[in-house]
A and B are shown apart, each in its own frame.
Chain A
Amino acid sequence: MGTELAKAVVDGVLTGGVYALMAAGLTLIFGVMEIINIAQGVLVVLGAYLSYTLQVHAGIDPFVGLLITIPVMFVLGMVIEWGFIRRLAPRDRTALSILATFAVAVIVEGVLTQAYSADLRTLSAWYVDRSIHVFGFYLPYIYLFGFALAVVLLAALYLFVYRTRTGYSIRASMQNRAGAQLIGIDIDRVSAITFGIGAAATAAGGTVYGATNTFNPDSGYDLISRLLVIVVLGGLGSIGGALVAAILALVIEDVTAVLWSPVWSSTMFFAVLVVVLLVRPTGLFGQQAVRAQ
């Protein structure tokens, strides 16, 4: 029981890191543009399929393939922002953005179904099937590699947002959109870059997701619901909050599976959000007063 519990916690932390990376993109997009990107889940699946294609047709290792898929997804994110988000009427922006990004998700799902059929796929590599023996339990290499990748990319994202000029612009836009515009920040450019970064994060997340799960074009909906829970749990717009929330939620899910039953673990994942919001309507690290309209 003790080892199982320890393993559940370690698994939760490791997978939580990857979820944090995917959620970081979502929370960043929300912070800058005040929109909920429903397509984030299906973009993760798209990232997984890109890695899959590179691997099957060009023999490129999924992690090496990130050098290609991350820039591709970055550009795609910018295109989505430019094509569909920027044009939304300012009135009802929140509601319209949900519908517009859902439409994008449906289209991407359709394209993926057309291209790959609805069969379940998974990424394979030597590190997917093999495990390393540490502290008395086996850990699949992919969990470690995925976590390392997530940590590196989250650190890079943090440095970018907090230490570069564009990062300053992004944070200024998050704090006060109109004020940022007033001091000469090009909001359209910042929004496009932010959306690009959000999509680029899904490329990396998708590779790890695709190696640790079976996926088909429909998998995006389960993912986006989890990512949304993480983002709100951590406090909308907070990258650090997303990290803590992702690890917390996934550890609770894995521990529930051990202590109670795997059947109830997913329910607990969502129940955590309900319980936390009862106590703190702003989420764990939300600074923005969510109750203010």
Chain B
Amino acid sequence: MNPALVRRSVIVLALLCAIGFPFVFRNPATTSIAFFTVLYMGAASAWNLFSGYTGYMALGNAVFYGSGAYFIANVTNHLDLSGGIGIFLWVPVAGLFSGIVAIPVGWLALRTRRHTFVVITIAIFFIFQLLAYNLQSVTNGSAGMQLPLPPWIAATYNDYFYFAALIAAVLAVVVSWTVRRSHFGLQLLAIRDDEDRARGLGVRTGRVKLAAFVLSGVLTGMCGAIYAYYLGSVYPPFAFEAIFDLTVALMAFLGGLGTVSGPVIGALLLEPLQQYLTQQFTAAGLSLILFGALFLVVIGFLPQGIVPSAEALSRRVKAARSR
């Protein structure tokens, strides 16, 4: 069978499953997990768009997540918007706001490389978290901000957010895919493989890296805005969450760093599992131990991630068959 056709039908099938999911599973507990899974698909894809393609480990994407969350909280409060679908129209604007935040952050952080870059993104993340506590006039400090309550009934409440997150996730994947196939994407991959050589060959590394960083920020900010609206409130430790930074990285790693489908698969496996572990083992310590252990198993056995490992396997099978 034609592999392109197989791929296309798998994508269409997956999309149909995603759209049909809330119509089949009506339990709010289930749709809540589905919402988070889809949201993290978007966030992990956004992380991968910069870090996976360029090889720069950014551990501060929660900066954009939180910026998007606080932006939408401010907009709804200042414009006195009432709850409803209309608020979702502000999600792309929140994304753009996060993108604007990403410009100085990226300019600053991208002056460094490798380990220093990792640490400076962590430092910038903590600065933002502390700012969220301290800039009372914009964030209301640790008292947090409330968003308007949507008028939807409990049975279908999650569905609106689920589809909003799904649109954001599809957008993130489509952007990742487009970038991956573009000249721009090739430049990013060249930076990952050998930045100095890429520069020597005429890639404007600074500009290209910053563009990818900002793009990643826009997509992450959109996810953050949806998250804030779903929770109905924004507090500094939830908007700027350190675990978020590592979770999206782990998802991309599990699926396959730098691949388009990797972060989606990683999120699809990890987020429900994490939610399940937290629900199943009420002892907080035990779920942490299990999650950490699982984490180590993944790193130990699939250091390349699922998608590249599967591709290598299918190549080997094919080679064995043709012999």
Contact = CB atoms under 8 A, between A and B. Distances in A.
Q: In terms of DSSP, what is the predominant structure of the interface of chain A?
A: helix
Interface of A: 30, 34, 36, 84, 87-89, 91-92, 94-96, 98-100, 102-107, 109-115, 118, 217, 221, 225, 228-229, 231-232, 236, 263-264, 266-267, 270-271, 273-274, 277-278, 281-283, 290-293
Interface in B226-265: 242, 246, 249-250, 253, 257
Interface stretch (B19-27, B33-41, B61-69, B116-124): B116-124
Contacts of B127: 267, 270-271, 274
B249 to A, nearest CB: 7
A92 B288 contact: no
Interface of B: 57, 59, 108, 111-116, 118-120, 122-124, 126-127, 130-131, 133-134, 194-196, 242, 246, 249-250, 253, 257, 283-293, 295-296, 299-300, 303-304
A236 B115 contact: yes
A274 B116 contact: no
28 contacts: A30-B115, A84-B296, A91-B303, A94-B118, A95-B57, A96-B253, A98-B59, A99-B299, A100-B299, A103-B293, A106-B288, A107-B289, A109-B288, A110-B285, A114-B285, A114-B289, A217-B285, A225-B122, A232-B119, A232-B123, A266-B130, A278-B108, A281-B111, A281-B112, A290-B114, A290-B115, A291-B113, A292-B196
Nearest to A106: B292
A274 B296 contact: no
Contacts of B293: 103, 107
A115 B290 CA distance: 15
A293 B209 CA distance: 15
A277 B119 CA distance: 11
A292 B292 CA distance: 33
A91 to B, nearest CB: 8
A110 B283 CA distance: 9
A106 B130 CA distance: 23
A111 B119 contact: no
Contact of A267 (B130, B253, B299): B130
A103 B196 CA distance: 32
Contact of B299 (A103, A118, A274, A283): A103
